[in-house]
Structure 1
Amino acid sequence: MKLVSSPGPLGSPLGPLRPSPLVEQATDHLRGQITGGQWPVGTKIPGETTLAKTLGVGRSTVREAVRALAATGLVQARQGSGVFVIADRPHEDWPTRLRRAAVTDVYEVRMLIEVEAARLAAERRTEDDLAALDEAMAARRAASGRGDAEFVDADIALHRAVVAAAHNPVLTDLFGEFAPALRQGLIDLLDLRATHPGHGEDTHAALVRAVVAGDGREAARTARTELETTLAMLRDTA
């Protein structure tokens, strides 16, 4: 399958497709027409038949490519009118935005999630949750004398166990979205040697005790204190 070499309705020549997934290639080519300015915002893009002929692919491939562009906010179908360009740059998905965000910004939102999660965990924790908290606390304590990444992973695992004990799947998913950006930011920005051994040992132990005791107010207070301390340290190193 080859693309037509003349510009045609797409503006600049696109070149032949490589022997790899055609939908991905077609999406990349069409995206390039938008981000490269050949199809400005407000432009109605050529129809499926025209694009299929120009790209040398089937209409179903073009249809999937256009759907992919719509999913990133570049184009929009208008009933009875066609497909129009509505932006010249794709929307960033949530994980990408988190990776680009400052770790202090991520941490501020993390506090909103985890303080409430700690309160709920104290009210809803089960015997299995308590066992998981004990295990995570022991692992964090053991990691305090190891490498930076290991300590960060153990610390995040403990907080993940607290969030899981809240038994709110939305909170759990939100924490899961934040964890990768948080992990890398902590590794990159924190001088963890200053936090070893036992950084936050007392506050983390107090957090676990409050959850075990079912004291939601104390769990939330302890979580906020611990997170505010780390956030202040992150701001000092940023």
Structure 2
Amino acid sequence: MEPLSRSSLAENAADSIRADILAHRWAVGEKLPNEATLSTTLSVSRGTIREAVRVLVSQGYLETRQGSGTYVRSTVDATRTLGMARRAGLRDQFEARCALDVEAARLAAIRQTPAVIAELRALLAARGHSTDSDRAAFVARDIAFHKAVIAASGNRAMIEIYEFFSASIQETIEATISAEVPEPDMQAHAEIVDAIETGDPQQADAAVRRFMAPVIAALDRMLLS
């Protein structure tokens, strides 16, 4: 087995010190043991300790005071905080996407034609399932389907808004094929097309809301956990 590199040793040391910080071994504002003590405790060089401290300073856990030492700045898990912020942002994106998709589906139901329905069904069949090994290709096909629903609204402004919003839309779609957020299945997608085909805007509205509800509910649970 090859010996660990200095960077790997520093990462391991940072992980150990971070774990102690999160376990409240030291309180906020409390001074850490000096380099020599930490070096002995973790069985690494003092240079490795300095690198580990720099990492933890950059992550907001520690602060160094010239001529005084290193102090605990925060005992909050920064990675969890960033994750929560991302989930909150993602939920906002889904709410905005839901509002846009709902109104587009309502208008599409009013203005639907056999040709439009045939195109939506063809794009849905081409979309396939999220188990596709080529994730990027799947996302592109999924976006094509949803853009077609927007286009079926016949509202040029909504089409332009959706195009402008496409990067955010793509992020929401990619998130739903992660382990954390459920991907609406083919049946949920098909129900949107079925509802549009009825010509009833209320049914189209309800189908999109059913489609989005499990995703938004999952994000709500994550934010509360």
TM-score normalised by L of structure 2: 0.52
Corresponding pairs, count: 137
Counterpart residue identity of residue 206, structure 1? E
> Residue 206 of structure 1: CA displacement?
1.0
> Residue 224 of structure 1: CA displacement?
0.9
The one of 191, 200, 213 aligned to 1:215: 200
User: What residue number does 2:167 align with?
Assistant: 180
User: What residue number does 2:213 align with?
Assistant: 228
Distance 1:234 1:150 in 2: 25
Distance 2:175 2:199 in 1: 35
String of CA shifts for 1:34-64, please: whole Å, max 9, x gaps: xxxxxxxxxxxxxxxxxxxxxxxxxxxxxxx
Distance 1:235 1:154 in 2: 27
Distance 1:110 1:214 in 2: 22
The one of 88, 94, 101 aligned to 1:107: 94
Q: Percent of pairs identical after alignment?
A: 31
User: What residue number does 2:185 align with?
Assistant: 200
User: What residue number does 2:127 align with?
Assistant: 140
String of CA shifts for 1:151-184, please: whole Å, max 9, x gaps: 3222222221111111001111111122212213
What secondary structure sits across from 2:165 in the alignment? helix
String of CA shifts for 1:96-128, please: whole Å, max 9, x gaps: xxxxx9222121111111111111101102333
Range moving further from structure 2, 134-143 or 171-180: 134-143
C-alpha contact (below 8 Å) 1:143/1:150 kept by paired residues: no
C-alpha contact (below 8 Å) 2:181/2:219 kept by paired residues: no
> Residue 235 of structure 1: CA displacement?
4.6
The one of 147, 150, 153 aligned to 1:166: 153
> Residue 236 of structure 1: CA displacement?
4.9
What secondary structure sits across from 1:102 in the alignment? helix
C-alpha contact (below 8 Å) 2:182/2:214 kept by paired residues: no
- Matches for 1:29-44 after TM superposition, within 5 Å: none
User: What residue number does 2:27 align with?
Assistant: none
- For structure 2, list consecutive stretches of 5 or more residues without a partner in the other structure: 1-87
Distance 1:117 1:237 in 2: 29
User: What residue number does 2:110 align with?
Assistant: 123
Distance 1:151 1:235 in 2: 26
- For structure 1, list consecutive stretches of 5 or more residues without a partner in the other structure: 1-100
* Aligned CA-pair RMSD: 2.8
- Matches for 1:38-77 after TM superposition, within 5 Å: none
> Residue 191 of structure 1: CA displacement?
1.2
